[in-house]
Amino acid sequence: MKFFVDTAEISEIRELAETGLLDGVTTNPTLIAKSGRNIAEVIAEICEIVSGPVSAEVAATDYKQMLMEAAVLRRIAKNVTIKVPLTPDGLRACYALSREGIMVNVTLCFSAAQALLAAKAGASFISPFVGRLDDIGQNGMDLIADIVQIYANYPAIKTEVLVASIRNPIHLIEAAKMGADVATIPPAVIKQLYHHPLTDKGLAAFLADWGKTGQSIV
């Protein structure tokens, strides 16, 4: 499974990139707004840090404007992935862009039917939002299972399942068990993945025992 980080904060991206765990980055208008910076500057800086796909989302809602914004965003760097909403105009833009060999991330997916449409439109990635489904009393992971199963039925589908709106490590593990291709994870949740009380307890015991030897490796 590929790990993307869902943020526009350069310091967080740089820190994670240095661990070797990061395969890509996703951003959205909300994350760009939180950064307080110009979108082109932010995306360009991220693309210098990360060689994998970096999703930059259009703000337009109509087809022609989406293509105009996509033209600006794709000039920033070769690894920019154009992110479009799962709407009729968004899927039309996805089809046009994908035919030019441009990576497209179709976002705001909340049903398997929508995911099938995105695949038909040639999306590189489909982003189903599991956390937001959980918020309204549905099981977001059921959607991931459905999409993975449907895509697996058709070898011609090359669209990768990019699990979004991840709220906790359980979402990630369940998605990995189902065979999702990618997870885009908030930095705080990535940091949670490191921790287990038995790891902390074991390390404390090792260090205490080592201290008793009076040795130094260097």
Q: What is the distance between the alpha carbons of residues 149 and 163, in angstroms, rounded to a whole number? A: 14
Q: Quick one: tokens of 51?
A: 């060689």
Which ranges of the chain does DSSP label H, i.e. alpha helix? 10-17, 29-35, 39-49, 63-74, 88-99, 112-120, 130-135, 140-152, 169-178, 187-194, 197-213
Active-site option among 2, 83, 158, 212: 83
Q: What is the distance between the alpha carbons of residues 14 and 45, in angstroms, rounded to a whole number? A: 10
Q: What is the distance between the alpha carbons of residues 35 and 146, in angstroms, rounded to a whole number? A: 34
What count of other Cβ atoms lies within 10 Å of the Cβ of residue 186? 18
83 is known as an active-site residue: yes
Can you tell me whether residue 125 is helix, strand or coil? strand
Active site residues: 83
